Amino acid sequence: MWKPEIIGSTRSSYTRVVRMACEEKGIDYSLTEAELGAPEVFAIHPFGKMPVLRHGDVQLFESKAIATYLDRRFPGPSLFPSEPLAAALVEQWVSLVNTLIDRTLIRTYLLAYAAPKTADGKPDRQAIEAVTPALREQIEVLDKAVAKTGHLVDDRYTFADINLMPILYYMQLVPEGAEALGRATHLGAYYDLHAARPSFKSTNPPEGPPRRAAG
């Protein structure tokens, strides 16, 4: 059987999401390190975003599509529930995180620290202060969402949790994010619980700015 090849950066949180899915299912995969817009990424993704997947004759882009394929193609714990409501709830949280929370917490807030567009290269305090109220609001929403079971969907670990955890990893590294997580008792416990999973530990990124330019 062909071994799935994931092409992306170890610093990319979306690449990490796919790697975590493989680790959870026990899939033997390879990682080809690549930068955004690299030729091998552009060969599969029309806009050069990561990660992309090669598996025999199969080529896929977008992390959720890749994870869905891997979950259905390989044995192991199911990351996407088969029951209609639970499946819809996973889709709901993945969509919210990818379209709203990622844009606020990673692409706006975190990159104001990691890749500021300031003349002196220092953190963009104007952008940070402007986005902090939305950051706190979204952390509070997530705190309420995991309060009952410690998971986003029912009392099970699903792709919805996998998709969120790399964002929280970066949030706890920067001041306002760490402060907001510290106040979010349920979300803090959620992070500590799932950060102990082998799939999370084995995919920890090296130091440096995150990349999440995919979907």
Write the CATH number for 179.
1.20.1050.10
Q: How far apart are CA 197 and CA 205, in angstroms?
A: 15
User: Mind listing the pLDDT tens digit for each residue in 1-55?
Assistant: 689 999 999 999 999 999 999 999 999 999 999 988 899 999 999 999 999 999 9
Both 46 and 137 in one domain: the answer is no
Both 34 and 93 in one domain: the answer is no
Q: Which domain holds residue 56?
A: 5-73
Any domain includes 20: yes
Both 95 and 34 in one domain: the answer is no
Any domain includes 206: no
Determine contact, residues 165/192, Cβ cutoff 8 Å.
no
User: Mind listing the pLDDT tens digit for each residue in 57-94?
Assistant: 999 999 999 999 999 999 999 999 999 999 999 999 99
CA distances from 4 to 23, 27, 56, 166 (A): 12, 8, 8, 21
Both 88 and 184 in one domain: the answer is yes
Both 97 and 37 in one domain: the answer is no
Both 129 and 61 in one domain: the answer is no
pLDDT at 60: 98
Both tokens assigned to 194: 């799932």
Both 89 and 69 in one domain: the answer is no
Any domain includes 27: yes
Any domain includes 78: no
Both 18 and 106 in one domain: the answer is no
User: Mind listing the pLDDT tens digit for each residue in 97-133?
Assistant: 999 999 999 999 999 998 888 999 899 999 999 999 9
Any domain includes 208: no
Which residues does residue 153 pair with via DSSP β-bridges, in sequence order?
156
pTM of the model: 0.94
User: How big is the CA angle at 208 (ends 135 and 142), to the nearest 5 degrees?
Assistant: 25
Any domain includes 207: no
Overall domain count for the chain: 2
* Residue at which a domain ends, from 73, 93, 115: 73
**44: CATH:** 3.40.30.10
Both 41 and 134 in one domain: the answer is no
Both 155 and 88 in one domain: the answer is yes
Q: How far apart are CA 138 and CA 96, in angstroms?
A: 10
Determine contact, residues 192/185, Cβ cutoff 8 Å.
no
Any domain includes 66: yes
Q: How far apart are CA 203 and CA 55, in angstroms?
A: 20
Both 133 and 44 in one domain: the answer is no
CA distances from 157 to 2, 95, 120, 162, 190 (A): 27, 17, 43, 8, 11
Both 91 and 69 in one domain: the answer is no
